[in-house]
Amino acid sequence: MKSLTLARNAMNFIVGYLPARTLSYTSYCAAVIKLQNGNRAVLVTEAGASASGITGTLLSQMETALHVPVLGGASPTPGQGTWHMNDAEQQALAVFSSAVQGGGVWQGAVLKAVVANRAICPSCTYTLQQHGFAVNGAEAVAP
C-alpha cells in the first residue's frame, strides 16, 4: 500500500471512529514512516484543549484495519500560550525526529506521508517543503 493512501486510510479511520464534536476541537495527524527494512508504520498524534492521548483501543483497531503497526505519539509544545489547533503535525514531526535520533529500529527510517484532519499549519508546511514534500491542504507526501 502506498504511503499516502495508508496515511489517508489511517485518517479516515480516526475521523470515522471519533465523534464530530471531538474532531472540532482536537487535531489529529497520521504520519507514515518507512523503516529501513522496507516495512511501513503509522504514527498517530493528537493536539487540542482536551487532548488526552490516543487510546490503546483506537491504536489496536487501526492496526487490525490497516495491517501495519500503529504507534501513538505525543510531544507537547512547551510553555503557556504556545498551543494551537495544528500541533498534531508538529508533534508527529517532533516524535519522528526524536525516534530517528534514538536509533534502534528507527535508524534509517524515512517520513513518507502526513495527513491531518484539517489543513497542515504554515510552520509545518514550511518544514515539510524544506524536506521536499509536496503539501496540499491537509496532506503532504514525500517525493
Q: 110-116 and 26-34 as β-strands: parallel, antiparallel, unpaired?
A: antiparallel
Q: Which pLDDT does position 10 carry in this prediction? A: 96
At 78 the pLDDT is: 52
Q: Residue 33's pLDDT is what?
A: 95
Using CA atoms, how far residue 88 sits from 48, 108, 117, 121, in Å, is: 8, 23, 9, 10
Does the pLDDT value for residue 82 go beyond 60?
A: no
Per-residue pLDDT of 13-46, as tens digits, reads 999 998 888 888 888 999 999 999 999 999 998 8
Asked whether 109 and 35 are in contact (CB, 8 A), the reply is yes
List the beta strands (DSSP E) in 61-128: 70-73, 110-116
Output the pTM of the full model: 0.87
Gap between the Cα atoms of 122 and 40, Å rounded: 27
